[in-house]
Amino acid sequence: MVKEKILIVDDQNGIRVLLMEVFGSEGYRTFQASNGKLALEIVKTEAPDLVLLDMKIPGMDGLDILKHIKKINPAIKVIMMTAYGELDMIREATELGALMHFTKPFDIDEMRIAVNNQLSSPASPGYAV
């Protein structure tokens, strides 16, 4: 059985490595990107089931990347990660279709449970972007 694909988008290498290890050991196929351009190329070529997306990425911020992901494939689930308590950005991300957000430093077990729950639940019917 092929496990779902997870794309990890963060400009911090340590976070990408940690999340790749955690979700790789759970049996997911993992991909990583350090910037928006690379992330969107992976979204187009690999069609991940879920994207863990950092809000603050140099060049193209998380909200821009989120908008592009949802244009490419509205069914891709997105969980935002942020080191900042920017409620307006988090609210906007939710309006754009992000399912939830984690504030760094996040509890890796909470993140793992959230990802497993999102990927085990079917896409919501009638989901509007």
Residue pLDDT, tens place only, 11-54: 999 999 999 999 999 999 999 999 999 999 999 999 999 999 99
Q: What single string gives the DSSP state of each residue in 12-75?
A: -HHHHHHHHHHHHHTT-EEEEESSHHHHHHHHHHH--SEEEEES--SSS-HHHHHHHHHHH-TT
- Is residue 9, in this structure, part of any structural domain at all? yes
- Is residue 126, in this structure, part of any structural domain at all? no
The CATH number of the domain holding residue 31 is 3.40.50.2300
Q: What is the pLDDT of residue 1?
A: 62
- Is residue 128, in this structure, part of any structural domain at all? no
- Is residue 36, in this structure, part of any structural domain at all? yes
| pTM score of the predicted model | 0.91
- Is residue 21, in this structure, part of any structural domain at all? yes
Residue pLDDT, tens place only, 80-124: 998 866 778 899 999 999 999 999 999 999 999 999 999 997 654
- Is residue 61, in this structure, part of any structural domain at all? yes
Query: Between 108-120 and 13-25, two packed helices, what is the crossing angle to 10 degrees?
Result: 50
